[in-house]
Amino acid sequence: MTNCPFLRNYSLYLAWLIALIATLGSLYFSEIKLIPVCHLCWYQRICMYPLVILLGIAAYREDRSIVLYTMPLVILGLLFSSYQYVEQMIPEFAPIGLCGSGPECSAIHMEWLGFITLPFLSMIANLGIILFLTLAKCYHAHPCCPSDQDH
């Protein structure tokens, strides 16, 4: 496995990079493109924004124990984005009604290729962070490559 040392050494940085891009992207769409932010979008932001700081510090310090503390935020963000995406793609689906007054959560403000919306991008970001956090924890617990001392 030639990618093993890279993933072992940089998985926290990659998770941080995804969180940073997602945060900057959400700010771009709301502050520059002036897309209104609904309640579900705010919940997703609440889950994503702290990850930039937490994962940045953890990556710098190589602290893989952060996985236990950040994974609940990421999973919660994934649930919110998945719910909103389903609500957008299936108009009849709205059993919980998490979106109160304000911008409609099921409104599609941007759509690419007929299925990529802002909640879809949030889902992909959360899944990517879950992947890299899992790799960070797994490679730390069970290194797949011999250490440099073995060579």
Sign of the dihedral defined by the CA atoms of residues 48, 49, 50, 54, in that order: positive
Domain count within the chain: 1
d(CA 85, CA 105): 9
98 falls in which pLDDT band (50, 70, 90)?
A: low
Give buried/exposed letters for 71-92 (b at 16+ CB in 10 A, else e). Answer: eebbeebbebbbbbbebbeeee
Which residues are CB-contacts of 37 (< 8 A; sequence separation ≥ 6)? 30, 45, 103
pLDDT at 95 over 70: no
Identify the domain containing residue 83 by its residue range.
4-94+118-142
In a domain, 122, yes or no: yes
DSSP code, position 28? I
Q: Which residues are paired to 116 by β-bridges?
A: 112
Q: Name the token pair of 119.
A: 């909640």
What is the per-residue pLDDT across 37-58, written as a single tens digit (0 to 9) for each? Answer: 988 999 999 999 999 999 999 9
Instruction: Please report, as a single letter, which amino acid is at residue 81.
Output: S
- Compute the average pLDDT of residues 86-95: 80
Predicted pLDDT of residue 108: 82
In angstroms, how far is CA 1 from the centroid of its own chain?
26
Q: How many Cβ atoms sit within 10 Å of the Cβ of residue 106?
A: 18
Is pTM beyond 0.95? Reply is no
In a domain, 151, yes or no: no
In a domain, 65, yes or no: yes
